[in-house]
Amino acid sequence: MGAFHPDSEFMQALGRVADFVILNVLCVLFSLPVVTAGAAMTAKYYVSMKIIRGEEPVVFQAFWRSFRDNFKQATMIWLPALVILLVLAWDWYAVVYGDSQGMPAAGRILLLVMTLLVCMVIYAVFPFLARFQMSTSEALKGAMVFCFLHFPKMLLVLLVIALPYVLALWYIEWALGLWFFITTVALYYISRMFVKEFKKIEKEEQL
């Protein structure tokens, strides 16, 4: 069987890459109203984790179903989270450019740690919604525990997420290509990590 046969490993891998690219584009498009970003991220990870588990969903249909079904709960989490992120962004603006430039080093470190933890929890909660049927409080609690137990992995997740945007500022002419490549690799890595860790949670629940 040749490499370009539809059932070959090469073509299957190429198909998965295309699915991840489509998922990232769908997530961006469905996040454009801003208030829908939480539901869009939930849908993205709902489909990407299915792909990692080998379930081969029809990407757009599965994305739309998750977006629709989780919209209310994901938005109820996202809107307060967005307010918190804006407050933190304002604090950092004040530290770098505004009245808080003279903040002691200890204060800046505390603000940095708080920002990282908040971003980790906000990012982790949507894969929880995508994988488990749980209340909002349970999803937030699960995300917080997950982030504390896997702090190095979640720190790497934040770095990987920020990387394409940082590089795009440095290499404007390659911005689109860098975004597609890095976000595709990042989605694969992050989804695989969550699938692996969620399997451990599911096994513990079955005991």
CB 159 within 8 A of CB 178: no
The pLDDT of residue 59: 92
The pLDDT of residue 10: 54
The pLDDT of residue 93: 87
If we measure between CA atoms, which residue out of 132, 140, 147 comes closest to residue 193?
Answer: 147
pLDDT digits (tens, 9 = 90+) for 120-158: 999 999 999 999 999 999 999 999 999 999 999 999 999
Predicted structure pTM score? 0.88
Residue 53: strand, helix, or coil: coil
The pLDDT of residue 112: 92
List of the chain residues with pLDDT < 50: 1, 3-5
Distance CA 50, CA 186 (A): 16
Q: Which residue has the tokens 């200890």?
A: 106
The pLDDT of residue 175: 80
End-to-end CA distance of the chain: 44
- C-alpha 165 chain-centroid distance: 14
The pLDDT of residue 125: 96
Distance CA 91, CA 77 (A): 22
- C-alpha 83 chain-centroid distance: 18
Cα dist from 104 to 95, 109, 111, 176, whole Å: 10, 9, 11, 39
Token readout for 168 is 């795009």
The pLDDT of residue 13: 67
CB 187 within 8 A of CB 23: yes
The pLDDT of residue 172: 80
SS3 breakdown of the chain: % helix, strand, coil, rounded to 5? 85, 0, 15
The pLDDT of residue 207: 55
